[in-house]
Structure 1
Amino acid sequence: MIRGLYTSATGMIAAQTQSEVIGDNVVNIKTAGFKEQLASNISFPSKQIYRTGGNSTSEALALGKMGTGLGVDQVTRSNVQGALDVTDVKTDLALKTLGYFVVQTPDGDRYTRNGHFQLDSEGMLRTAEGFTVQGEEGPIGPLSSDFRVSSEGVISDQGQDVNRLRIVEIPEEALQREGQSIYNATEGVQALVGAQVQQGAIERSNVDLSGQLVNMMSVMKAYEANQKVIQTQDELLGKAVNEVGKIY
């Protein structure tokens, strides 16, 4: 009975984690370049149970396996390309392939697909947070307001090529999220060959709101079902403690 409480409790915890992931997706549905987060469950090891009888364990009758609960194994990202919104703003850049822009932060290089950039007062290309966008030749800028970016990421200004966007690929397992759309990487950062960029456009989040609502309903049903099981188990346990062995 106690095991049943434990199993249902792990189910509730997993459902709670899934609901937090879904909530995060919904909050970031308008964040440029945001990738849907996916929580995957893992079942804890099941155990063989027996009905004992006789004087030896060899006489025990196998009843089957009993689950010991589940948890969230990992949270990954969906790398499906988000739709492109054409803005005609020169500082807006969208990746049309896999990969990440590189930005310089006080803590070192970080990575993002959010290409909603801007020029500061000195003409340096920066993120909304103020991080400098990196090119193969270092920080990008100073630029005039009429700079151009080719589909290959080459930046030209006043008729001259001045830099090229630094775009990298990173193994999924090496990415660590920091904030809404900024990532750190533990290893495996490599230049992306064949990256494609569109100037004057933004990649939307790839989160589908209707799908998230359906997932949330499913998660809430699972949470409520486990909650009811715990209530039932608690009532039965109370009866076992208070009534078994009572003499009437």
Structure 2
Amino acid sequence: MIRGLYTSATGMLAAQTQSEVIGDNVVNIKTAGFKEQLASNISFPAKLIQRIEGNQVSGAVAIGGMGTGLGVDRISWSNVQGSLDVTDANADLALTTPGYFVVQTPEGERYTRNGHFQLDSAGMLRTAEGFTLQGEEGPIGPLSSEFSISADGTVMDQGQYVNRLRIVEIPEDALQRAGQSLYSSAQPVQASVGAQVRQGAIENSNVDLSGQLVNMMSVMKAYEANQKLIQTQDEMLAKAVNEVGKI
């Protein structure tokens, strides 16, 4: 009975975590370059149930197994390409291939697909938070307002070569959330081969709203089912203590 309570409780906790992940996805549906989060479940090892005759454990007959609970194994990210919005703004960049832009933050390098950059007063390309966009030869800039970036990431300004965007590839299982659309890596990153950049466009979030709503309904039903199981088992325990115990 107590095992059943534990199993139902872990199911509710897993559903709550999934609900939080879905909520975060929906909140960031308008965040450029945001990658949809995916929560994968893992079941705890099942226990073998045996029928015991009297108090004799020896010779017990196996009658099946019982799950001991459920948990969220890990949070991963969808690598589906988001749709592109054409803005025609020079500082807006979108990756049309796998990979990430590199920006420098006070905590070190971070990676993003949010290409909504800005040209500051010194002519440096920065994120909305003020982090500098990195090239193969350091920060991108200083630039005039007429700079251009070719498909391979080469930055030109007034006919002169300036730098080339540094674009890296990161395995999905190495990504770690470091902000709304920023990520860090648990492994050394590698330069992206054949990365393609589109100037004057922004990649939208790849969150599928209809899919998130369907997932939310499933999570809510799972939560309610486990909640009902806890209530039922609590009632059975109450009867076992208050009624059966009197006999």
Structures share fold, TM-score greater than 0.5 = yes
* 2:184 equivalent to 1:184: yes
Aligned to 1:226: 226
Which region of structure 1 is more displaced relative to structure 2, 48-57 or 8-17? Answer: 48-57
Aligned partner of residue 188 in structure 1, secondary structure: coil
* 2:108 equivalent to 1:104: no
Aligned residues: 247
Unaligned runs of 5+ in 1: none
State the AA in 2 paired with 1:225: A
Unaligned runs of 5+ in 2: none
Aligned to 1:199: 199
Aligned partner of residue 102 in structure 1, secondary structure: strand
Distance 2:218 2:57 in 1: 42
Deviation per CA, 1:18-77: give whole Å up to 9, x if none. Answer: 000000000110111111100000000001111012786453221101110110001100
Aligned to 1:11: 11
Give 1:176 shift.
1.3
Q: TM-score under structure 2 normalisation?
A: 0.97
Distance 2:55 2:215 in 1: 51
Question: Residues 86-235 of structure 1 correspond to what in structure 2 (within 5 A)?
Answer: 86-235=86-235
Question: Residues 49-88 of structure 1 correspond to what in structure 2 (within 5 A)?
Answer: 49-53=49-53, 57-88=57-88
Distance 1:56 1:233 in 2: 27
Aligned partner of residue 6 in structure 1, secondary structure: helix
Q: Following superposition, which runs of at least 4 residues in structure 1 exceed 4 angstroms of deviation?
A: 54-58
Distance 2:187 2:38 in 1: 22
Give 1:165 shift.
0.3
Distance 2:58 2:199 in 1: 74
Distance 1:57 1:186 in 2: 49
Distance 2:96 2:197 in 1: 6
Deviation per CA, 1:97-118: give whole Å up to 9, x if none. Answer: 1111000111111111100000
* 2:43 equivalent to 1:43: yes
State the AA in 2 paired with 1:216: M
Which region of structure 1 is more displaced relative to structure 2, 237-246 or 90-99? Answer: 237-246
State the AA in 1 paired with 2:184: N
Aligned partner of residue 220 in structure 1, secondary structure: helix
State the AA in 1 paired with 2:149: V
Give 1:131 shift.
0.1
Distance 1:112 1:12 in 2: 33
Contact 1:114–1:203 (CA<8 Å) still a contact in 2?
A: yes
State the AA in 1 paired with 2:227: Q
Contact 1:167–1:192 (CA<8 Å) still a contact in 2?
A: yes
Contact 1:54–1:60 (CA<8 Å) still a contact in 2?
A: no
Give 1:121 shift.
0.7
Aligned partner of residue 222 in structure 1, secondary structure: helix
Distance 1:104 1:72 in 2: 32
Aligned to 1:29: 29
Deviation per CA, 1:185-226: give whole Å up to 9, x if none. Answer: 232211111000000000011101111011001100000000
Contact 1:83–1:205 (CA<8 Å) still a contact in 2?
A: yes
Distance 1:39 1:78 in 2: 10
Distance 2:166 2:174 in 1: 19
Give 1:179 shift.
1.2
Distance 1:36 1:70 in 2: 22
Alignment RMSD = 1.2
Distance 1:176 1:152 in 2: 27
Give 1:174 shift.
2.1
